[in-house]
Amino acid sequence: MKTYPRFLLFSLILLHPIFADVVPNQLFSDNAVLQQGMQVPVWGTAGEEERVTVEFAGQKISTMATNGAWSIRLQPLTAATNPQTMTITGSNTVTLTNLLVGEVWLCSGQSNMERQLGLRNGQKPLVNWEQEAASANYPEIRQFLVKDTIATNPLTTVVGSWAICSPSTVTNFTAVGYFFGRDLHKKLKVPIGLIHSSWGGTPAETWTRHEVLATNPALAPIIPRFTNDIATFADRLAKYQADEPKLKAEYTNACAQALAQAKPTPRPPSQPKDPLKSQNSPSMLFNGMINPLLPYAIRGAIWYQGESNGGRAKEYRDLFPAMIADWRLLWNQGDFPFLFVQLAPYKGTGPEIREAQFLTLQKSTNTAMAVITDYGDADNIHPTEKEPVGQRLALAARALAYDEKVEYSGPLYSGSQVQGNKLTITFTHIGGGLLSKDGPLKGFTIAGADKKFLPAQAEITGETVTVSSPEVSTPVAVRYGWTNVPDVNLFNKEGLPASPFRTDVE
């Protein structure tokens, strides 16, 4: 066996770069779905100046790793249901199998997007979930489930894997995302990829990049709140620990009283959470669960969130559009379709947050809102009807993403005009015409200059709704569904409900 002087070994090391295994981003793994019809970035890590070659669907593209990272772009791909193989070669070879090409959508938000199709402890079962799961033989629908990840700085790697839709796996799919993907798959006849990145109970600011929060004057309070939470955490924790015996005793007594009165037991006391380790802190989930997905080619995004921002609805008017704009900027795919769900009726959800979502349609182009006033539950923040939600999102995708000439929204308030003692409301998305479902129109209130809103009579007159009250001689404002649990019935003839609104937007 040959031996070499130490100085010669050192020289050889200097002359030849140290190679490391080529590792693609985890999004590029077995069973993945790639986006059709646009350039597809493929990226990962490798040794410095290592030559990396990607081969897929007849294309062969090489690049050199820089600073331990590499990236190439495949030219636009054609939808393919036949499984294909991707080979990535450097100092080693990575072979990815069973890849399809079709339509990829990001599914994000909080618990109503996170809620999986299957039965979950402590939650009401979703309507028809067992029958739906049993028939979910859709091998061309796949979900990449992003692991819950908190990060104080933007990450570039993601933890997760692609699952093929089947009766045994679909119970772990996002229910809303599954129904959305199922309907698109049936309509488009192409594979559907769902990238599921959500976390229950989280506010929109945690999904938003720090730079956006720090530089947008309308969002100025968010970062100082976070900074204050960090500064006061130690004192708040110490106070909790000192009060813990008393708090636990109070909790025990409250539980006993609730049980005796057949009422729900209260939540147990919990110690303050370190803001630097909290999923609710600004940008934490953007850093850990959105940034690592960039710039995976997608067609668009669906979003179901807002409950955790309900107490700051006016702020949400700016926060939500700012988040949408920034995601689009970072993905660098133009104003891709962004489809979201307006919050359902629930006793703890005020009308202001629904209004903020409605106003987002005016601030953000190529967006659509699925209204679900007809599928809420006053006592459950997690409505068990998820199929209609996915179906309405899919309808919007068909119109915005795939240019199908189909009505995809219920009536949306567009203006009002006073005519004597009546106020006439105009709408967009009338579709085939306005419809009062199951009886006379309800849910309208009207006010004069005193701003005292009273129940009103409303009737459809052609493409408008005329609202009046014998107690209001000179009306100045009308509201519709302006309550936590709207009882409303204005639809278009396509069966899509009108969004709650008020003409006196503050």
Q: Are residues 361 and 388 in the same domain?
A: yes
Separation of alpha carbons 486 and 470, rounded Å: 23
pTM: 0.94
Establish if 4 belongs to a structural domain.
no
> Helices 387-400 and 175-188, interaxial angle, to 10°?
50
Q: Span 225-238, mean pLDDT?
A: 96
Kindly tell me the burial class for residue 298, based on how many C-beta atoms sit within 10 Å of its own C-beta (0-12, 13-18, 19 or more).
Answer: buried
> Percent of the chain scored above 70 by pLDDT?
96
pLDDT band at residue 433 using 50, 70 and 90 as cut-offs: very high
Q: Are residues 187 and 309 in the same domain?
A: yes
Q: Are residues 195 and 244 in the same domain?
A: no
> Percent of the chain scored above 90 by pLDDT?
93
Establish if 28 belongs to a structural domain.
no
Chain-centroid distance, C-alpha 341:
9
Give the structural domain span for 306: 103-208+283-409
Establish if 334 belongs to a structural domain.
yes
Q: Are residues 190 and 296 in the same domain?
A: yes
Among 4, 40, 17, 13, residue whose Cα is nearest residue 296? 40
Q: Are residues 265 and 145 in the same domain?
A: no
Separation of alpha carbons 411 and 3, rounded Å: 82
Q: Are residues 294 and 384 in the same domain?
A: yes
Q: Span 442-459, mean pLDDT?
A: 97
Q: Is the pLDDT of residue 152 over 80?
A: yes
Give how many domains the chain has, as a whole number: 3
Q: Is the pLDDT of residue 414 over 80?
A: yes
Establish if 26 belongs to a structural domain.
no
Convert the pLDDT of each residue in 94-135 to its tens digit: 999 999 999 999 999 999 999 999 988 788 999 999 999 999
Buried b (16+ CB within 10 A) or exposed e, 206-235: bbbbbebbeebeebeebbeebeebeeebee
Q: Are residues 304 and 398 in the same domain?
A: yes
Establish if 56 belongs to a structural domain.
no
Last residue of a domain, one of 282, 312, 332: 282
Whether the CA torsion 249, 254, 255, 257 is positive or negative: it is positive
For residue 13, the model assigns a pLDDT of 38
Q: What is the CA radius of gyration of the chain?
A: 27
Per DSSP, the residues of 392-412 read HHHHHHHHHTT------S--E
What is the overall mean pLDDT for the chain?
Answer: 95
Which residues lie closer than 8 Å to 356 by C-beta, 6 or more apart? 306, 309, 313, 314, 316, 317, 320
Choice between 8 and 46, residue whose per-residue pLDDT is larger: 46
Query: Which stretch of 228-242, 259-273, 455-469 has the lowest confidence by average pLDDT?
Result: 259-273
Convert the pLDDT of each residue in 59-84 to its tens digit: 999 999 999 999 999 999 999 999 99
Contact 103, 184 (CB under 8 A): yes
For residue 57, the model assigns a pLDDT of 97
CB-side exposure of 317: number of CA atoms within 13 Å? 13
Kindly tell me the burial class for residue 60, based on how many C-beta atoms sit within 10 Å of its own C-beta (0-12, 13-18, 19 or more).
Answer: exposed
Q: Is the pLDDT of residue 477 over 60?
A: yes
For residue 122, the model assigns a pLDDT of 80
Establish if 73 belongs to a structural domain.
no
For residue 386, the model assigns a pLDDT of 98
Chain-centroid distance, C-alpha 91:
39
For residue 236, the model assigns a pLDDT of 96
The H-or-E segment that residue 252 falls in is: helix 222-260
Q: Span 430-444, mean pLDDT?
A: 97
Q: Are residues 204 and 216 in the same domain?
A: no
Separation of alpha carbons 225 and 75, rounded Å: 45
Last residue of a domain, one of 282, 303, 320: 282
Q: Are residues 215 and 199 in the same domain?
A: no
Q: Are residues 287 and 371 in the same domain?
A: yes
Please identify which residue in the block is written with the tokens 């493929």.
42
Q: Is the pLDDT of residue 14 over 50?
A: no
Establish if 277 belongs to a structural domain.
yes
Contact 472, 478 (CB under 8 A): no
Buried b (16+ CB within 10 A) or exposed e, 384-417: bbbbbbbebbbbbbbbbbeeeeebbbbbbbeebe
Q: Are residues 307 and 355 in the same domain?
A: yes
In CATH, what number is assigned to the domain containing residue 317?
A: 3.40.50.1110
Among 44, 32, 225, residue whose Cα is nearest residue 144? 32
pLDDT band at residue 18 using 50, 70 and 90 as cut-offs: low
For residue 388, the model assigns a pLDDT of 98
Q: Specify which residues 160 forms β-bridges with.
A: 146
CA distances (Å), origin 472, targets 449, 464, 480, 483: 9, 20, 16, 21
For residue 8, the model assigns a pLDDT of 40
Last residue of a domain, one of 350, 375, 409: 409
Convert the pLDDT of each residue in 348-357 to its tens digit: 999 999 999 9
Query: Which stretch of 78-87, 137-146, 249-258 has the lowest confidence by average pLDDT?
Result: 249-258
Q: Span 300-320, mean pLDDT?
A: 98
Establish if 454 belongs to a structural domain.
yes
The H-or-E segment that residue 131 falls in is: helix 129-134
For residue 263, the model assigns a pLDDT of 87
Q: Are residues 404 and 442 in the same domain?
A: no
CB-side exposure of 156: number of CA atoms within 13 Å? 9
For residue 19, the model assigns a pLDDT of 57
